[in-house]
Amino acid sequence: MLYREAGQYKTNYAADMAIFPLREDRVGIAIIILAAYSLAFLGNSFLLQAVMIPFLVFSLAAIGLNILTGYTGLLSLGTGAFMGVGAYACYKLMTAFPGVNVIVWIFASGFFSAAVGALFGLPSLRIKGFYLAVATLAAQFFLQWCFIRIPWLVNYNVSGALDAPLRTLFGVPVVGATATPQTRYLVVLTIVILLTWIASNLVHGRIGRAWIAIRDMDLAAELMGIRPLQTKLLAFAVSSYYCGVAGALLVFLWYGGAEYDVFNINQSFFILFMVIIGGLGSLIGSFFGAALIFIMPIVLGIVLPAMLSPFGLSVGADVIEHLRFMIVGALIIFFLIVEPHGLARLWQIGKQKLLVWPFPY
Amino acid sequence: MRAPDNPVAAKQDVLLAVDNVSLGFGGVKALSDVSFDIRKGEIRAIIGPNGAGKTSMLNCINGFYYPTEGQITFKGVKRPKMRPYLAARGGIARTFQNVALFKSMSTLDNIMAGRSLKMHANFFWQLFRHGPAMKEEAAHRRVVEDIIDFLEIQHIRKTPVGRLPYGLQKRVELGRALAMEPELLLLDEPMAGMNLEEKEDMSRFIFEVNQQFGTTIALIEHDMGVVMDLSDRVVVLEYGRKIADGTPDEVKRDQRVIDAYLGVAH
């Protein structure tokens, strides 16, 4: 089957405005989703626990930051803190109302970080670019201070850490020490697919156009009747919602417990790099970015020793570790030089080429 | 032709009145004591040499600046200090001297963005891109397609506007302003940097917008041929002051206008 636009006629505007107007794209997405679900039954627990679950969690956080930085053009360094708000909120809700299903609380915890995010988004009306980044940095430090200094957030736990109490879904443990990687993977996957679908609905509609309009030319956007403050705050809220849910997933479905320093400034930068390398203003780019930044080092960690051993080189784990950093760093620079607009643009170009293949245009 | 024989009737069809408006930035006076009006259904040209304050005038009208002195009355209501989106809500649309399109969006999306004020499907339906939200998108897409047909830009519907040549970008920008279905359309040098053919097309579009939709248009333009042919009345600014106001023929004969454009012998 060739990847072609020809012959696929649209008879109404709704079909033409579909997110995947091409049949081939729809089939492709269906295959990817199916493959992702079957991975739960085919993959071993290392693959699920150490690769796939964190990859999906980081992708979700990257989508959140992409809505803010990529689509609306507001640079934020508070991602880690907003993820933290989600995680702490989820913990408080889960322990205060143990009877309610944990999935409900994971979705609800996002609203807390949305509120906090919107609050810290208020300066965005007046300041832009690097200055806004500094303002969000304040959010990062202030919230992290809260996580350390307010013991109420961890229910006066002496260790000061979040722990994951046992919670079940349909009788199967999903949170807690007894939850298997398989169940946790399936839950995370479903949540990420659902939220990605919603994000793609948002960015393709009126709200997404308002966000991009503010990013591309805020004065003209205002003249179209798009209110800058509301639009930016909505971007902050939605973005933080995604980060908050990602934070809750990170603690309760991946780590199974965490301390405050999971949500430090490094985490913020980590997510920001994913967004920049994946592609600003692209949802699929968020997945690419998370894959490159998170999965690539793991793959190298496995592949490098195997590659070096035939040469009789037995190198220590520390050397492998250093090599890994160097290669990942070099790859990031390489991709940024080849395509400054991120991996998503490469993907776009590839698809465009495939559409007209074997002709150049 | 439109001379105010009956002052009462003439007052009534004034859409926007600028009364003794002055605008200063620190020590610099961009506009001083300018008064004129724009009547419903006319094409009003604002001309003047570079730096005369034409764009500052438009910026006052659509709310980017607030006059330091004087009043702007729109549809009979004196305007308070306002943000541009309120002017947009009131029915004022605008294009820019340097194209101000949303570069990464397609032509379609740019013009759809112009419909923002008319779209009301709530956030909940937007989340699912279903039901009322999708119905609304399709309904507005129909209007946008009409505008695309009108401006003869069907072939670039899905092209990101950043990749379009300048003349077409100007046309898309006009389309985006038209999508707002404005009562007053402000055009800031719609023909700057265009070749003759493009100018003819643009003039035709401006004329047709005025004739077919009855949109009131205020335009800034340097091409005198275009101004004299298109406009019903012309106001001439120089150094932030109004030096002439009247029909194109009257303005053309005005000695101060001739001096401003050709210079005075010293």
Inter-chain CB pairs, A–B, below 8 Å:
103
Q: Give domain status of residue A80, yes or no.
A: yes
Q: Do A224 and B101 touch (CB under 8 A)?
A: no
Considering the domain architecture, whether residues B143 and B199 belong to the same structural domain is answered as no
Cα B77 from Cα A69, distance rounded (Å): 40
Last residue of a domain, one of B153, B181, B209: B181
Q: How far off is chain A from B40, nearest CA to CA, in Å?
A: 21
Shared domain for B66 and B105, answered yes or no, is no
Share of chain A above pLDDT 70, in %: 99
A130 min Cα distance to partner chain B (Å) = 22
Q: Which of B87, B116, B180 sits opposite A210 (nearest CB)?
A: B116
Picking from A86-95, A148-157, A181-190, which range would have the lowest pLDDT averaged per residue?
A: A148-157
Cβ pair A224:B88 closer than 8 A: yes
pLDDT, residue B6, reads: 43
Q: Give the domain extent around A77.
A: 46-356
From chain B, pick out residues whose CB is under 8 angstroms from the CB of A221. Answer: 102, 113
B147 falls in which pLDDT band (50, 70, 90)?
very high
Percent of chain A with pLDDT over 90: 51
A157 confidence band (pLDDT: 50, 70, 90): confident
Q: Last residue of some domain: B123, B148, B181? A: B181
Q: Which of A69-83, A293-307, B193-207, B242-256 has the lowest mean pLDDT?
A: A293-307
**pLDDT for residue B94:** 93
Is there a domain that residue A128 lies in? Answer: yes
Cβ neighbors of A222 (< 8 A, separation 6 or more) are A228, B83, B84, B85, B88
> Measured between CB atoms, does B181 come within 8 Å of chain A?
no
**Number of domains, chain A:** 1
Q: What is the pLDDT of residue B8?
A: 42
One domain, residues B22 and B70: yes
Interval A194-236: pLDDT, tens: 999 999 999 999 999 999 999 999 889 998 889 999 999 999 9
Residue B180 CA to residue A226 CA, distance in Å, equals: 12
Lowest mean pLDDT among A113-117, B11-15, B62-66, B249-253: B11-15
Paired tokens of A345: 């643009």
Q: Which of B96, B118, B129, B180 should be substituted to probe chain A, the one whose Cβ sees the most A Cβ atoms within 10 Å?
A: B129
Report the range of poorest mean pLDDT among A134-148, A210-224, A255-269, A329-343: A329-343
- pLDDT > 70 fraction of chain B, expressed in percent and rounded: 95
Same domain assignment for residues B109 and B177: yes
Are B121 and A206 in contact (CB < 8 Å)? yes
A225 in any annotated domain: yes
Instruction: Looking at the structure, tell me whether residues B166 and B217 fall in a common domain.
Output: no
Question: By CA distance, what is B88's nearest residue in A?
Answer: A225
Cβ–Cβ below 8 Å for A223 and B137: no
In a domain, A5, yes or no: no
From first CA to last CA, the distance across chain B in angstroms is 37
Once rounded to an integer, what is the mean pLDDT over residues A323-333? Answer: 84
Among B181, B212, B236, the domain-final residue is: B181
Report if residue A29 sits inside a domain: no
- From the list B89, B127, B136, the residue facing A198 with the nearest CB is B127
Mean residue pLDDT across chain A: 89
Closest residue of A to B98, CA-based? A220
Decide if A221 and B83 are in contact by the 8 Å CB cutoff.
no
Q: Does A227 touch chain B (CB under 8 A)?
A: yes
Do B102 and A13 count as a contact with CB atoms less than 8 A apart?
Answer: no
B12: confidence class by pLDDT, cuts 50, 70, 90: low
Based on the fold, state whether residues B188 and B85 are members of the same structural domain: yes
Spatial distance between the Cα atoms of B111 and B95, rounded to a whole number of angstroms: 12
Would you call A224 and B117 a contact, using CB atoms and an 8 Å cutoff? yes
Query: Sign (positive/negative) of CA torsion A344, A347, A351, A357?
Result: positive
Both B255 and B266 in a single domain?
yes
Nearest CA in chain B to A14: B138
What's the pLDDT at B261?
81
Residues B59 and B144 in one domain: no
Domain that holds residue B103: 99-181
Q: Is residue A281 a contact partner of residue A96, using CB atoms and an 8 Å limit?
A: no
- Mean pLDDT over B248-262 rounds to 87
Q: Are residues B188 and B174 in the same domain?
A: no
The stretches of B79-165 forming alpha helices (DSSP H) are 84-90, 107-113, 123-128, 132-150
At A1, is the pLDDT very low, low, confident or very high (cuts 50, 70, 90)? low
Length of chain B: 266
Cα–Cα distance measured from residue A262 to residue A37, given in angstroms and rounded to the nearest whole number: 28
Contact (CB<8Å) A216/B101: yes
Q: Are residues B147 and B125 in the same domain?
A: yes
Cis peptide before B7 (omega within 30 of 0): no
**CB-based contact, A355 to chain B, within 8 Å:** no
Read off the pLDDT of each residue in A345-354 and give the average, rounded to a whole number.
88
pLDDT confidence of residue B156 = 93
For the ranges A102-106, A129-133, A309-313, the lowest mean pLDDT is seen at A309-313
**Quick one: which of A160, A161, A116, A162 has its CA closest to A139?**
A116
Which ipTM was obtained for this model? 0.89
A residues 243..302 contacting B (CB < 8 A): 281
A128-149 mean pLDDT: 91
Q: Which residue of B has its CA nearest to A215?
A: B102
Return the CATH number at B264. 3.40.50.300
Q: What is the CATH number of the domain that holds A55?
A: 1.10.3470
Q: How many structural domains does chain B have?
A: 2
- Asked, for residue A174, whether it belongs to a domain, the answer is yes
Look up residue A268 and give its two tokens: 């913020």
B15 and B49 in a single domain? The answer is yes
Q: Is B88 on the interface with A (CB under 8 A)?
A: yes
> Is residue A310 within a helix (H) or strand (E), and if so which, with residue range?
none
Residue A55 lies in a domain: yes
Residue A39 domain-assigned (yes or no): no
Contact between chains at A17 and B137 (C-beta distance less than 8 A): yes
